Structure 1
């Protein structure tokens, strides 16, 4: 049967303008209110420029470099009832936007490095970082699942920073039907070479690769600046379903916001390249599970 209703170019089914905010939050209780107010201003500016989905960095409301667990507890809040999530929810309702942002979450005696998804209808869900980087292991408890959230703009998955080095994360989110992945980050400067001759860093390539092999757009927001001797990498980007950046890559040292216009649900058909090249169909999961040790098989010796 031919689709005579759409003989010409098809319009975007779920057009969405997205924003990746690259900012410089600073740790310290004296900075927390400054950080939160900055996020509200950044969301307002992005919405004024037409963004319906605004993605902020990891730990956007607190800064990153906690010296002690006690200090992290002092910065942390409950989710979603804490004051920062409440203010984000009020603004999302006012502006009719969706917000993804990183926050230090407290639940009882546990601390989590968390990303929240908030929309005009209020709090939608959260993801707790599962792969903890370096000293994060001394502060936070790792999360234990990879939720995908149904929203009016599409199905949204979340990941945080170091997660992008583990290809299973984006694969699991996509296998669960994610139309779009939001990546909140605090990518740091690492030993050289940090950039290649094209000016790209490894985190950018990993984001592009995860997007390409899964046929899913990724909105990756990183931070910049220095904090307690550490330096952050910038290089935020937004990819299309083909994995290439749609708006270039952000500067390594400047605060800025990237924008892109996406057809969010294009992910649902973009994975099929041709009659004989279909990434989901071509996967050999019968081999992967035992070889990788996921189902009790013996992993290869390194």
Structure 2
């Protein structure tokens, strides 16, 4: 039996890249000491997220996929598989992106497809989802609001993803904030999406998130690991921390899909016009 230990982080990150890298280095060192093979860091952990979602916030530093910061992240990762969010500069166009690295370099890159509120004032949208092979299995990535759309995770599962990592900077409610963040309605939605996406695709799900506050935003943290049955097996709650769990991934997927195979039992001909539909 080959067991993989995975970890999802809830932590605060701001514009100070050096402070961010110091935090990431500590998290990677601790993960390595704990025998973790896959570490998921939050959205925008390299340079922080937007200070607000009203369209006028200054963005984080723009980094190139082949630039020194991503190479530095890869060097820190070493023998671990690490996913992290950053602002990608590609030919002068900015994307809210996520990268997957090991010490050998970049394994995958994802540009956030779905943009909430006024995020499109800063970033362009990505245009797809693709799984990729890593030393810990076939992986898929998405960012924050992407998980509100079932098609995102389903696309990755149909592309063979065994594990999906969703990196977020998910805040609490802006219009009806709860004094107790654990009871916030946006926190509740965050958790529901995590569990539903794992269950409907019968995959291992890692959810990393920013914690604390930045600008006008108060993040719900709630990093977690969800099994293919939709059960939360590790969770940080609404504070900074690391959710750690371990799986024999092929085995838990096979067990989950043995009788009720959600991917196997699909009937695409019954909803073939779905993509062409309009709201």
Same fold (TM over 0.5): yes
Q: What is the distance in 1 between the residues matched to 2:39 and 2:127? A: 25
Number of the residue aligned with 1:65: 50
Deviations 1:94-145 (A, max 9, x none): xx11100001110122001111010232211101000012221110011112
Aligned equivalents of 2:140, 2:244: Cα separation in 1? 19
Q: Following TM superposition, by how much is the alpha carbon of 1:189 offset from its aligned partner in structure 2, in angstroms?
A: 0.6
Query: Any idea what the Cα deviations from partners look like across 1:220-256, whole Å, max 9, x if unmatched?
Result: 0011111112111111110111110112x2221x211
Aligned partner of 2:202 among 206, 215, 227: 215
2:125 counterpart (142, 158, 168): 142
**Higher radius of gyration, 1 or 2:** 1
1:239 and 1:186 mapped to 2: Cα distance? 18
Out of 230, 247, 255, the residue aligned to residue 262 of structure 1 is 247
Aligned counterpart for 2:110 among listed residues 127, 135, 145: 127
Per the alignment, do residues 119 and 264 of structure 1 end up closer, same or farther by CA in structure 2, a change over 3 Å counting?
Answer: farther
**Per-residue deviation, residues 172-208 of structure 1 (Å, max 9, x unmatched):** 10011101001111111114477559x9621111111
How many Å apart are 1:278 and its aligned residue? 2.8
Give the equivalent residue in structure 1 for 2:13.
25
Equivalent pairs, count = 273
Query: Contact 1:215 / 1:267 at 8 angstroms: preserved in 2?
Result: no
Deviation of 1:171 after TM superposition, in Å, equals: 0.6
Deviation at 1:151, TM superposition (A): 1.6
* Structure 2 residue 73 is matched with structure 1 residue 88: yes
Give the aligned partner of residue 166 of structure 1: 149
Residue 38 of structure 1 aligns to a residue in which SS?
helix
Deviation (angstroms), 1:64: 0.7
CA distance in 2, matches of 1:211, 1:153: 18
Counterpart residue number, 1:77: 63
Unaligned 5+ runs, structure 1: 1-10
Q: Does 1:231 align with 2:214?
A: no
Counterpart in 2 of 1:43?
28
Summarize deviations over 1:267-296 as a string: whole Å, max 9, x none.
65245342xx43223322112122x2x2x4
Unaligned stretches of 5+ residues in structure 2:
none
Look up the match of 1:117: 100
Match of 1:8 in 2: none
Q: 3-state DSSP class of the match of 1:280? A: coil
Q: What SS class does the counterpart of residue 18 from structure 1 fall into?
A: strand
Q: Tell me the CA shift for residue 43 of structure 1.
A: 1.3
Q: Distance in 2 between matches of 1:101 and 1:265?
A: 24
**1:233 counterpart SS class:** coil
Give the TM-score normalised by structure 1: 0.83
Distance 1:270 1:175 in 2: 18
- Say whether 1:180 aligns with 2:163: yes
Alignment check: 8 A CA contact 1:271 1:280 kept: no
Rounded to whole Å, the distance in 2 between the matches of 1:116 and 1:19 is: 16
